[in-house]
Structure 1
Amino acid sequence: MKKLLILAYDFPPYVSVGGLRPYNWYRYLKEYGIEPIVVTRQWSNTHKSALDYIARGHSDQTITEVSEYGTVLYAPYTPTLSNRLLYRHGNNKYSYLRKSLTATHDFKQFLWISGAKREIYETAKKYLQKNPVDMIIATGDPFVLFLYAKKLGKEFHTPWIADYRDPWSQDKRVQANILFHNWNKMLEKKIVSTSVGITTVSGIMKYKLQEYFPQKNIYIIPNGYDPEAVSTVSKIPQSTDKLTISFVGTIYEWHPWRSFLKEFSDFIEQGEERDIQLNLYGINIETEIRKTIDELPEKSRNAIQICPKLSNMELLSRLARENVMLLFNDYSILGTKIFDYLGTRRKILLCYANDEDALRLKEAHYTIDEVDGMSKQLQVDLIRETNAGVIAENVTHLKQLLDELHQEFREKGKIECASTGVENYSRKIQVKKLADIVQSL
């Protein structure tokens, strides 16, 4: 059985969509003849918020866990000074100092093995000194893991794969500063050119990467849903008390969340009593959203609940009880949450396909350079392909859809979802693709 060393920064018990991709490699690779060894950092998941990302590890020694699926090595973690200041004083103090420290750290970590992520490299190196593997894969970001994979591959004569969940130097936020962009572009080409192959999550990512690496084999391995977790919660019935609409995870600057909250509030305040609730799970800009909610009328405020971050299993159990899943348009990005929505077989409500204000937000804040001739509505395409939900064209259409969903719930006590072909988006199927790549390289 071939052995694959996986360098992954995000990994359970830390709750993040980025951690689900390497976790499912770990969970299913053995079924396809690959033994996984994951090297990650120590996570506590005690705060159930963004603080978990910057909290200190719970041991100065590597913690090793061996299971029927493979091995996980949890490296010690000491936060950077910037993160220690953030942890102690919050987001509003020492902002300029923290940004300066972070920029210095991000620059230095590529010049020599240093900084908060260094222990992942050291732990992997110690393991490889006694335990040879057949291949290494590093999933980014953080993209310094690609540097670690390159160095380890060279020292131990082991080929490595670069897995892109997001763009590196082609990210618009990186491109905004010409010096920072050129520095990252140089690093990216120098490091990734030494890999034996590249994997990524979508067609547009593959297209962009081929501009930099035209001679490389680039494979698309989409994200998906956890089939075991979904099977476990599949028997949980929908809520019958009130119509529940739920959103999960990160809200980006191009997401029209203010528009949705306004229309949701107007729907509640106008006309008859509305038995409806909006649940927001594990969102990233809680303070800003709470401020907006506090300005709404009382009935609307009482109909919106912000929930803490939950483990993937806890989250899916909650989502199985919900009636409708809210999704904001990410245009050329499929993202991850849509797959969990598909797996739970609850109707998806996407906002918006063609709303003027939403498109202005996209113009101002969207971080992906889109490609002529490639779809700019990937989520819309997938929802239509699977018949998994409804697409609000704009604010006016959202008003109509909220009314239709509310009426259906009152008549049937649930919201029906007649999705088809969802099983094709199981993470287990996507892991087989990775196993085939490892076996062939």
Structure 2
Amino acid sequence: MLKVLLITYYWPPAGGPGVQRWLKFVKYFKDFGIEPIVYIPENPTYPLTDESLISEVSDEITIIKQPIFEPYRLAELFSKKSSKTISKGIIVKKEKQSLIQKLLLYIRGNFFIPDARKFWVKPSAKFLQKYISEANIDAIITTGPPHSVHLIGKELKKNIDLYWIADFRDPWTTIGYHDKLKLTKGSIEKHKELEKEVLTSVDHLTVTSYTTKEEFLKITNKPISVITNGYDTEKISEVKLDSEFTISHIGSLLSGRNPEKLWQILFDLTQENDEFAKTFRLQLVGAVSEDVLLSINEAGLSDFLDNNGYVSHKKAIEIQRSSQVLLLVEIDTPETKCIIPGKLFEYMVSKRPILAIGPKDADISRLIKETNSGYFFEYSEGSEMKNVILSYFGEFLEGKLKAKTEGIEKYSRRELTRKMVEVLKKVESEK
């Protein structure tokens, strides 16, 4: 049985999408002859927590921890609210930023490269170098963001002859919020330098999207596998469909995820269609930026809004399955066309129709079309979007609204683990 060390920042009780991917891989590894050992920070500052996820971690899994210094704790002395929103990735528009927010962003972007967890790198590499030798580890996996975790792998690779897989849940220098960190020219170059060092010293790269693979192929000749996020079989009792026409977004709505045309379309429908006005609810679950809430209110939708805030993963799944339509929104920039959020696959398995909005040529468009799970629109496609919403609403009134999803089995967490194991099995062939 191969012994594999996973180095990750996010682990239960961390909440949010960052923890799900490797929580599930670890869950299924032993079924495929892999013994996982998980290395995590002892005292992290997670922006979101979900205690319910702790129950998904098997007692048979070896977990080792080392302390981490978290600068966000110091930032909270200046502004607890601003530091927490920044750590969640919620960055308000430039013209609305306070002096404190601008200062925190500048410090975060230029003093903490690649990110604020950089102080975990050296002590972790020192501790793990000894641990790996004593525990007879066959391979290590680093997963980011935070991308400082990959620097632990880079340090270990320099000193130990072992197989290293770097898993990128999101890209590095082209991630959506990078241009909002007020980076100096020197800081931008430092990010690119570190990114290249990781991409060229690793043995194998795994990424979650096709676009990220194309991007990395321009930097490295190392093998790259696309292993998307996926869905797991959830033990949740049957839920009833909402009696109202709920359009629900599950997850963070950052300032850039603000489809103002959609908000206007929904308001227009409440004015043009009395039945729509009686039954429509816009349901938001998760962290929502003030910019998005302001746009929704300015569009006239405040009376139709249910803003639930963050809920447990189990509760989020229940809401997905009871909603009439599931809304997926990605930032409208070329840099974000590579993002395939994990919730897309959970949406698919919920068997509720999807309404997705994002940038041109987005990878999510390809997957939605492939699985026939809904419709994708660019931000500019107003009339087409309105027609689809009316079509969904008509089916809802007839009691016939449901998804026509097909071919999603390959995106189950178990099948995706099989793909990851195929990469790990290369360790045996190269021994």
TM-score range relative to shorter protein: 0.7 to 0.9
The residue correspondences of 1:11-50 to structure 2 (distance < 5 A) are 11-41=11-41
1:379 equivalenced with 2:364 (yes/no): yes
Query: Residue 418 of structure 1 aligns with which residue?
Result: 404
Query: Residue 389 of structure 1 aligns with which residue?
Result: 374
- Decide which of 75, 92, 99 is 1:83's aligned counterpart: 75
1:271 equivalenced with 2:273 (yes/no): yes
CA contact (8 A) 2:3 2:138 kept: yes
Q: The residue matched to 1:85 in structure 2 has which SS? A: coil
Structure 1: distance between partners of 2:319 and 2:190: 44
Query: Residue 225 of structure 1 aligns with which residue?
Result: 231
1:311 equivalenced with 2:296 (yes/no): no
CA contact (8 A) 1:13 1:311 kept: no
CA contact (8 A) 1:109 1:115 kept: no
Tell which deviates more after alignment, 169-178 or 382-391.
169-178
**Post-superposition shift, 1:305?**
1.1
Query: Residue 262 of structure 2 aligns with which residue?
Result: 260
Structure 2: distance between partners of 1:119 and 1:397: 54
- The one-letter code of the counterpart of 2:264 is K
* Count of residue pairs the alignment pairs up: 396
Structure 2: distance between partners of 1:306 and 1:424: 33
Change (3 A) 1:180 1:293: same
- The one-letter code of the counterpart of 2:47 is Y
1:162-191 deviations in whole A, cap 9, x for unaligned?
Answer: 112222235576587542232222222233
- Decide which of 212, 224, 229 is 2:219's aligned counterpart: 212
1:384-414 deviations in whole A, cap 9, x for unaligned?
Answer: 22121134572112222222222221221x5
Structure 2: distance between partners of 1:12 and 1:326: 26
Query: Residue 193 of structure 1 aligns with which residue?
Result: 200
1:288 equivalenced with 2:291 (yes/no): yes
Query: Residue 391 of structure 2 aligns with which residue?
Result: 404
Change (3 A) 1:107 1:405: closer
1:140 equivalenced with 2:127 (yes/no): no
Change (3 A) 1:391 1:324: same
Structural RMSD (CA):
3.3
**Post-superposition shift, 1:242?**
0.6
1:170-226 deviations in whole A, cap 9, x for unaligned?
Answer: 557658754223222222223332221111112221221121112x11111111112
Structure 2: distance between partners of 1:87 and 1:3: 43
CA contact (8 A) 1:174 1:181 kept: no
CA contact (8 A) 2:121 2:151 kept: no
Structure 1: distance between partners of 2:148 and 2:82: 26
Structure 2: distance between partners of 1:271 and 1:109: 49
**Post-superposition shift, 1:4?**
0.9
CA contact (8 A) 1:10 1:16 kept: no
- The one-letter code of the counterpart of 2:76 is R
**Post-superposition shift, 1:37?**
1.4
1:124-148 deviations in whole A, cap 9, x for unaligned?
Answer: 4564364231111101122211111
Unaligned runs of 5+ in 2: 84-97, 331-335
1:7 equivalenced with 2:14 (yes/no): no
1:297-338 deviations in whole A, cap 9, x for unaligned?
Answer: 4xx323211122223222112211111111235644333221
- The one-letter code of the counterpart of 2:368 is I
Change (3 A) 1:185 1:263: same
Structure 1: distance between partners of 2:406 and 2:176: 36
**Post-superposition shift, 1:33?**
0.7
Tell which deviates more after alignment, 147-156 or 85-94.
85-94
The residue correspondences of 1:67-106 to structure 2 (distance < 5 A) are 67-68=58-59, 70-80=61-71, 83-85=75-77, 88=80, 90=82, 92=98, 94-106=100-112
Query: TM-score by structure 2 length?
Result: 0.81
**Post-superposition shift, 1:429?**
0.9
Change (3 A) 1:217 1:54: same
Query: Residue 366 of structure 1 aligns with which residue?
Result: none
Q: The residue matched to 2:7 in structure 1 has which SS? A: strand
Query: Residue 183 of structure 1 aligns with which residue?
Result: 190
Structure 2: distance between partners of 1:311 and 1:276: 24
CA contact (8 A) 2:68 2:119 kept: no
Structure 1: distance between partners of 2:408 and 2:384: 26
Query: TM-score by structure 1 length?
Result: 0.79
Q: The residue matched to 2:274 in structure 1 has which SS? A: coil
CA contact (8 A) 1:125 1:152 kept: yes
Structure 2: distance between partners of 1:422 and 1:311: 24
CA contact (8 A) 2:246 2:280 kept: yes
1:53 equivalenced with 2:47 (yes/no): yes
**Post-superposition shift, 1:75?**
4.0
Q: The residue matched to 1:223 in structure 2 has which SS? A: coil
Report percent identity of matched pairs.
25
**Post-superposition shift, 1:420?**
1.0
**Post-superposition shift, 1:244?**
1.0
Unaligned runs of 5+ in 1: 45-50, 56-62, 353-358, 363-375
CA contact (8 A) 1:10 1:19 kept: yes
- The one-letter code of the counterpart of 1:13 is P
Tell which deviates more after alignment, 175-184 or 257-266.
175-184
Change (3 A) 1:102 1:303: same
- The one-letter code of the counterpart of 1:308 is G
Change (3 A) 1:88 1:194: same
Change (3 A) 1:402 1:204: closer
Change (3 A) 1:223 1:408: same
**Post-superposition shift, 1:42?**
5.0
Q: The residue matched to 2:156 in structure 1 has which SS? A: helix
